[in-house]
Chains A and B, each alone.
Chain A
Amino acid sequence: MKVAILQFPGTNCEYDTVYAFKKLGAQTQIIWHKETALPTDIDLVVVAGGFSYGDYLRSGAIAKFSPIMKAVKEYANSGGKVLGICNGFQVLTEAGLLPGALKRNESLHFISRHHNLKVINNDNIFLEKLTLNDVVNIPIAHHDGNYFIDPVGLKDLYANNQVLLKYTDENGNESNPNGSIDSIAGICNKEKNVFGLMPHPERAMELILGSDDGVKMLEGFLSA
């Protein structure tokens, strides 16, 4: 298993992501955004979290034009697996690889804390190690995590089992930290090879640091 992890100017979760996938036994390679091609032997591309281009204009708006993104689009369109975490999720929506958009948090505050998430769909490689309605504890850290999609798009997401995770309390009751529509925390595309979520599973790999629930999320990718 080989994972390519994208690095833009302002990305700051690439080394956490390396740590997480190495812990799971995968090989990792950080790819600078100026590269025009992905390594040919990879199994997954991760668009890591952070503040690409300082979030100028909109989060992820400038990063979508980085040279490597053309290769990522081709990789995704040919069935390659892509995971966007936090700013990576924002980049993938801006790039049109995932539907919807991430707006400023409803409270206008940057939110950084652990949050519970409920598994809404697991018929995809990302969450197949988890059971439906499982509640996992994963950190969130974002200013623009307020997921929005129009009513038609939302209906499509539900119809195709594309809603992956929702923000909840520890009992699995919806609890919305940022104003996201229907408390949505993570989604995938229709083909179920492109995934995006605002929470940080790569920061939940060690019990001593608060939670290791990220392990069973990310190891889904290793069973491929």
Chain B
Amino acid sequence: MTAIVNISLKNGVLDSQGKAVHHALDSLHFEGIKDVRVGKQIILKIDNDDHDKVRADVTQMCEDLLANTVIEDYDIELIK
């Protein structure tokens, strides 16, 4: 099973990289962009097909290491 973890700064935490990218897109004349957030994606290949077990494990990984929950949110997607 593959676990895709998307990590981004929490709403309310200023995303300076997102702002810089937004500014760059504006100067390239792309219109209608309301907001840009930059995050990171961590892809884990896991030798286990037990959906619940993998979700619980990956959640623990996010809490312990992959995300800093003081400033970041994470989202886990599992693909068979």
Contacts and interface: CB of A to CB of B under 8 A. Distances in A.
Nearest to A100: B70
Interface residues of A, number: 20
Question: Range of interface residues on chain B?
Answer: 10 to 19
Interface in A53-78: 57-58, 61-62, 65
Contacts of A146: 16
Contacts of A58: 68
Given A101-B71, A103-B71, A108-B20, A179 B14 contact: yes
Contacts of A104: 16-17
A133 interface: no
A12 interface: no
A107 to B, nearest CB: 7
A148 B16 CA distance: 13
A202 interface: no
Contacts of B17: 104, 108
21 contacts: A58-B68, A62-B65, A65-B65, A94-B68, A101-B71, A103-B9, A103-B13, A103-B14, A103-B16, A104-B16, A104-B17, A105-B16, A106-B14, A108-B17, A108-B20, A148-B70, A148-B71, A149-B70, A150-B70, A179-B14, A179-B16
Q: Top 7 A-B pairs ranked by shortest CB distance?
A: A101-B70, A101-B71, A106-B16, A101-B68, A108-B16, A148-B71, A58-B68
